[in-house]
Amino acid sequence: MVEKVITLDNVSLIDFLGVENHNIKEVAAAFPMSKIISRGNEIRIKGTTPEISRISDILDSLMEHYQKYGKITHENIQNYISHSGQPTNGSGIVPPVPPDDDEVLVYGTRGVVVRAKTDNQKRLVEAAEKHDLVFAVGPAGTGKTYTAVAIAVRALKNKEVKKIIITRPAVEAGENLGFLPGDLKEKIDPYLRPIYDALDDMIPAEKLKFYTENRIIEIAPLAYMRGRTLNNAFILLDEAQNTTSMQMKMFLTRMGPTSKAIITGDRSQIDLPNKQKSGLVESVEILKNIKGIAFVELDGRDVVRHRLVREIITAYDKAGQ
């Protein structure tokens, strides 16, 4: 008998292994002549060389399936087991799996399927596929940030970029960071909470931790972007209505030759002091005729929060507020 050790990296162990290692026990039951032991993030396989090869192929394919769909079911395991040992295309076992839904952006955590839900959200997705720089402007609740994060996560999973950089200006509702308790991270994190919430829906906790610790996903205030050139990255600027003219110009000139960027903002929620002109409003006007830049306008019809949010936005629009 020979032994092989497989290390599981960047996955949610409970989701991949199953409760009490149920998924691995299912695989082991199909190979009674071999021994499969799961401890921590390691799986040890003992058996004959042909069986170890088949088991390894099944686990590799399950890993690829998990990375794509974010979950593993009993049916998935049985499909991969039944197709093991059959001829493949050289990239692992290819059992019948759920067909791709062209509208799905990300198969997220806890069974969450992230897709564009409205016509304008779909336009945002199409614009990001065809353009390197996209402005998405609209009121609260229209899914600007959530959709933009999903587009970026999809690009990272598809290896179209090497990292995601998400930033926003630390200006909110007239509050001053200097008066908030804690160090800089503790002051900034509440402003970035919507970003973390979106990422939590789309990437397993262990993998997200790995990404952030290794700066594959970077979430930082806009001031941290100064002086950088951002290559091979998907860059998101959120709450862009609270950028000054100089901040917006600084951000726009950070893009490297292999980067893509989405800028989101809401003209009705400008919190800049002393009636400063919004960098978002100014840039949309200045850049509107540049080929290669797309502009997507979202409105009350795109609101995906509580039904009253749509009516509230409509009422404020009518009142000119």
**CA 144/CA 303 separation, integer angstroms:** 10
Averaged over 268-291, what is the pLDDT? 88
Q: Are 131 and 278 in contact (CB under 8 A)?
A: no
Do the beta carbons of residue 23 and residue 73 sit within 8 Å?
Answer: no
Lowest mean pLDDT among 54-58, 98-102, 212-216, 231-235: 98-102
Residues of the chain with CATH 3.40.50.300: 104-320
pLDDT in tens, 234-273: 999 999 999 999 999 999 999 988 899 999 999 888 888 7
Alpha-carbon span 309 to 303, nearest angstrom? 7
CA-CA distance, 94 to 117, in Å (whole number)? 30
Quote the pLDDT of residue 182. Answer: 54
Q: Nearest Cα to 92, choosing from 62, 57, 68?
A: 57
The proportion of the chain whose per-residue pLDDT surpasses 90, expressed as a percent, equals 31
At 133-190, the pLDDT tens digits run 999 999 888 889 999 999 999 999 888 999 999 998 876 544 445 544 555 556 666 7
CATH of 2-83, one of 3.60.110.10, 3.30.1050.10, 2.60.120.10, 3.30.1370.10: 3.30.1370.10
Q: Is the pTM of this model over 0.85?
A: no
Amino acid 56: pLDDT: 87
Per-residue buried b or exposed e for 91-130, using 16+ beta carbons within 10 Å of the residue's own CB: ebbbbeeeeeeeebbbbbbeeeebbbebebbebbbebbee
Which residue(s) pair with 6 in the sheet? 43
Phi, psi at 260, each rounded to 5°: -130, 150
| Torsion angle, alpha carbons of 289, 160, 230, 182, to 10 | 110
Mean pLDDT of 295-317: 78
What distances in angstroms separate CA 25 from CA 53, 80, 310, one per listed residue?
A: 17, 14, 49
pLDDT for 151 equals: 95
How many whole angstroms separate alpha carbon 317 and alpha carbon 25?
Answer: 58
| Residue-level pLDDT at 93 | 54
Whole-angstrom distance, CA of residue 244 vs CA of residue 252: 12
Question: 37 near 23, Cβ under 8 Å?
Answer: no
> Are the C-beta atoms of 152 and 198 separated by less than 8 Å?
no
Give tens-digit pLDDT for 50-68.
888 888 888 888 887 877 7
**Is the pLDDT assigned to residue 281 strictly greater than 60?**
yes
Q: Which residue has the higher pLDDT, 112 or 211?
A: 211
Q: Out of 3.30.70.1400, 3.40.50.300, 3.10.20.740, 3.50.30.60, which CATH number does the structure's domain 104-320 have? A: 3.40.50.300
- How far apart CA 174 and CA 168 sit, in angstroms, is 15
Could you tell me which residues come within 8 angstroms of residue 137 by beta carbon, excluding any fewer than 6 positions away? 144, 264, 265, 266, 267, 280, 284, 295, 296, 297, 298
CB atoms within 10 A of CB 22: 12
CA distances from 16 to 83, 202, 261, 278 (A): 19, 15, 32, 46
Over residues 7-15, mean pLDDT = 76
Residue 318: other Cβ atoms inside 10 A: 8
